């Protein structure tokens, strides 16, 4: 499996395996800093999911999902100290509707071995962002071997908070009425994390962008047009300011009919 590098240099053929792993994102941030990065696969018209009446939820359609993008998703996860996700994922996991177990997947033993070789934990820790704390406890139990942190507001329900703490979850207030991106970033740094992989939905993505704490975006673009109104883009909601992004790398995947791009966010 190979791809063609289009930017910053033209390279006719590069192996897909190791394409993102060689970026060493897990040590890109200096001491006392954290690199926060996200990843999406989208159609040419910018859609990442569509509504599925059968499940009553938004899902990545088969026209977007593919093994080559999924492998790079795993490479990005392999480099993370912590995965940033939402309560919605745990509700899907409890209902049996989750796309997959949180990475790194056990079907990628080379990536798990790579983590060990770098001195990383067997699996990334998990940081959940939730205001409501509406998180099924049985879903938390499914990830009992990982360190789990929950970032919420100071107004969170005490009973739900205590029930989660009884399951070993570390609950942190990162805002008065909602999780604030700047306070989240500060907390991640205080816990010693230097690479954080944001794998939550577009609302969380927008909040991190709005707070100016997202550092990099990895975007796979499939050569398809979805044209669905009942769909999501990878940044839902209003942004108060224009955020400029700088293209770092661009690859053409002819076999998978898609582009792989890495962007960095310009600090405001």
Q: Report yes or no: 20 and 218 within 8 Å, Cβ to Cβ.
A: yes
Give the Cβ contact number of residue 59 at 10 Å. Answer: 16
Domain count, the chain: 1
d(CA 64, CA 58): 13
| 98: confidence class by pLDDT, cuts 50, 70, 90 | confident
Residue 242, pLDDT score: 85
Residue 55 has phi, psi (to 5 degrees) of -95, -15
| 42: confidence class by pLDDT, cuts 50, 70, 90 | very high
Residues 5-20 have a mean pLDDT of 97
Helix H segments across 11-81? 67-78
Residues 86-107 have a mean pLDDT of 90
Structural domain containing residue 27: 2-265
The CATH number assigned to the domain holding 172 equals: 3.40.430.10
Q: Report yes or no: 66 and 247 within 8 Å, Cβ to Cβ.
A: no
d(CA 172, CA 111): 30
| pLDDT of residue 261 exceeding 80 | yes
């Amino acid at each position: 499996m190979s791809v063609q590098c289009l930017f910053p240099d033209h390279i006719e053929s590069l192996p897909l395996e190791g394409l993102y792993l060689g970026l060493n994102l897990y040590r890109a941030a200096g001491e006392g800093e954290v690199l926060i990065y996200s990843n999406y696969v989208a159609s040419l018209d910018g859609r990442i999911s569509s509504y599925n009446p059968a499940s009553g939820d938004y899902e990545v359609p088969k026209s977007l999902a593919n093994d080559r993008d999924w492998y790079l998703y795993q490479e990005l996860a392999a480099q993370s100290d912590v995965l940033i996700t939402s309560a919605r994922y745990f509700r899907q996991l409890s209902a049996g509707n989750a796309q997959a177990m949180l990475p790194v997947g056990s079907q990628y033993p080379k990536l798990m071995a790579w983590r060990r070789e770098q001195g990383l934990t067997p699996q990334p820790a998990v940081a959940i962002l939730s205001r409501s704390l509406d998180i099924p406890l049985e879903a938390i139990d499914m990830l009992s071997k990982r360190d789990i942190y929950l970032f919420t507001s100071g107004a969170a329900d005490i009973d739900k908070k205590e029930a989660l703490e009884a399951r070993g979850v570390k609950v942190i207030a990162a805002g008065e009425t909602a999780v604030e991106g700047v306070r989240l970033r500060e907390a991640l740094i205080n816990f010693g994390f230097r690479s954080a992989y944001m794998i939550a939905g577009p609302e969380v993505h927008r909040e991190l962008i709005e707070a100016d704490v997202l550092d990099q975006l990895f975007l796979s673009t499939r050569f398809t047009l979805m044209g669905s109104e009942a769909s999501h883009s990878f940044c839902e909601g209003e942004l108060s300011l224009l955020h400029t992004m700088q293209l770092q790398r661009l690859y053409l995947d002819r076999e998978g009919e898609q582009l792989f791009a890495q962007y960095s966010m310009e600090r405001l």
